[in-house]
Structure formats: C-alpha cells, structure tokens
Amino acid sequence: MTADLAYWIFAAFAGVFGLLFGSFLNVCVARMPEDRSVVWPGSACPTCGTAIKPYDNVPVLAWMWLGGKCRACKQPISALYPTVEALFGVLTFLLFRRVIPDLAYIDTAYLAAFVWYGWLLFALVALTFIDLRHYIIPDEFSIYSVPVGVAGAALLGWLGYTGAPTWQGSVVGALVGGGFLAAVIGLYWLVRRQEGMGMGDVKLLAMLGAWFGPVAIFPILMMASIAGSIVGVTLAISRRSGLQLALPFGPFLALAAAIWLYAGRVLEPAVTLRVGALLELFGS
Ligand SMILES: [Zn+2]
C-alpha cells in the first residue's frame, strides 16, 4: 500500500468519525436548550416517540433509505438531521487535512491537536443551530469550554505541537476575548440604551480566545460583524421590515472562527503585519 493511499484512508476515517459525531451533534441541538440529557434515553422519533433502532441511526444513509420518514409512524423527519451530519463529516475531514497535511504528521501531538480543534468545531456547529433557533448559546459550548481550551493548549505545548497558542496565550486570549466584547456591549449600552449582543456572545468569544490566542480576537470580530451586517441588511431589505431584526450574532462569530480555523495560517501573518505597521506608525 502506498503512503498516499494510507493517508487518504486515515482522512476518510476522520470523516466517518465526523459523521458519527454529527449524529450526536443533532442530539445536542435538539435537547440542550430544553435541559434534557444528551446521553439518555437514545434517539426517538420527534413525532411518535418510537425509539430509533441502531440500524436506522446510521448517519445520513438511514435518513435516505427511510425516505426521510419515521419507520413507525411514517411522518417526515427533517432534512436538517442528515444535513448537520454531512456538514460535520465534511468539516471534520477538512480539519484532518488542515491539521495533518500528510502521513509524516500522524503522531500523538498532531492527533491530539486534531481532537482539540475537533472539540471547538463541534461547539461551533452546535451553537450555530441552537442560537439560530433559540437565541441562546449553551455554556457548554462557550465559557465551560475555556478550561478545555487552556488545558489543551498546555498539553499540545508539552507534546511539542507548535500550531496552537501557548497555555499563557490561551489564558490571555480568553480574557481579551471575553473582556473586549464585554466592553463593546457596555459602550453600546451607554450610547443606545439597548443590548446589541448578549452575554452568550461574550462567553463564546472567550472560548475562541482560548483556542486561537489574543491575536485572533479582532479579525474574528471584524469578519463576524461584516458577515452579520451583510446578512442583516439583505434580510431587512427582502422583508421590508426595517433594521430591527432579531438576528443572533453567535452563528456569525462561529462562521468567522471557522474561517480563522481553516485559513488562519494564511490570515495570521497578514494581521500580524498590519498590527506591526500600526505600531510603527504610532511609534514614529
Ligand atoms: Zn414516528
């Protein structure tokens, strides 16, 4: 077997892993806003409550061979379930490609980095769908993940992985992320007397800081704001309902974080360069 083929088999496994976790992601999206356990009981039809058999729980494929209907009551099952599974499968596959570019990188440090970034990716996709539907970001996918981010950064540093911030950078990133957005919200409150964003967004940016370090905070916030403005204005025009739309900000932060995660190595030097140029400007 060629090394190339072996690599693609590993990458495909990562994708399948993502599909399976995508299935669990659906469970989190459906149950966490209702404070139900994500481990017990097993999945059931949302219409009739019949428990879903293990062979009908295969990601994406089961939905297809069931024709998008429950086996027991024949009521339709939302296409969102296989879509979320497929999305997370693809994202996990791409993450593997991103963190582990070829066979030479398959070792403990790089696999640990893949799992660590995978945790973040899971949180990003889950909070996107939960925030879109319920206008909340669960603490599990924001502030409670901060210790995981810091511990992961420490572990990766110890293992010799260089693609992540140091644990100190991770701590500072979380503080800057949470603090910066809290300040923005405070300012907005002083000027407009209304909440532009919620505490959920503050906690989410703290998590992003823990994974990416302080340098990433500003570009992520910028990208999220630009994307949010474009979508917000487009929706407002198409609905002719004025600009008072309740559009959650979490999904845009998650999108910006995903862009940073996949293109960060391209973006980071550019940002560092700009910050350096700015400092020079102020210094001279
Ligand atoms: Zn049913």
Tell me the domain boundaries of the chain: 155-284
In this prediction the pTM is 0.89
Query: Measured between alpha carbons, how far apart are the two ends of the chain, in Å?
Result: 60
What is the rounded CA–CA span in Å between residue 278 and residue 164?
A: 25
Query: What three-state secondary structure class fits 47?
Result: coil
Q: Please give the distance, rounded to the nearest whole angstrom, from the Cα atom of residue 51 to the centre of ligand 1.
A: 9
Q: Please give the distance, rounded to the nearest whole angstrom, from the Cα atom of residue 29 to the centre of ligand 1.
A: 19
Q: Please give the distance, rounded to the nearest whole angstrom, from the Cα atom of residue 80 to the centre of ligand 1.
A: 16
What is the rounded CA–CA span in Å between residue 193 and residue 6?
A: 58
Supply the DSSP symbol for 68: T
Q: Please give the distance, rounded to the nearest whole angstrom, from the Cα atom of residue 179 to the centre of ligand 1.
A: 46
Q: Please give the distance, rounded to the nearest whole angstrom, from the Cα atom of residue 138 to the centre of ligand 1.
A: 28
Listed residue (208, 220, 35) closest to 123, CA to CA: 208
For residue 1, the model assigns a pLDDT of 66
Q: Which two tokens stand for residue 64?
A: 């297809």
Q: Please give the distance, rounded to the nearest whole angstrom, from the Cα atom of residue 91 to the centre of ligand 1.
A: 30
CA-based R_g, the chain, Å: 21
Q: Please give the distance, rounded to the nearest whole angstrom, from the Cα atom of residue 49 to the centre of ligand 1.
A: 6
What is the rounded CA–CA span in Å between residue 180 and residue 225?
A: 14
For residue 284, the model assigns a pLDDT of 46
Backbone angles phi, psi at 42, to 5 degrees: -65, 175
Listed residue (123, 158, 130) closest to 21, CA to CA: 123
Q: Please give the distance, rounded to the nearest whole angstrom, from the Cα atom of residue 13 to the centre of ligand 1.
A: 31
Q: Please give the distance, rounded to the nearest whole angstrom, from the Cα atom of residue 280 to the centre of ligand 1.
A: 65
For residue 244, the model assigns a pLDDT of 58
Q: Please give the distance, rounded to the nearest whole angstrom, from the Cα atom of residue 35 to the centre of ligand 1.
A: 22
- Contacts for 25-32 with beta carbons within 8 Å, 24 or more apart? 25/84, 25/85, 25/88, 25/122, 25/125, 25/126, 26/81, 26/84, 26/85, 28/126, 28/130, 29/84, 29/126, 29/129, 29/130, 29/133, 32/126, 32/130, 32/138, 32/140
List, run by run, the mean pLDDT of 10-residue segments along the chain (284 residues). 87 96 94 89 87 89 92 92 96 94 90 96 97 92 96 96 93 93 81 73 95 92 93 82 72 96 76 65 55
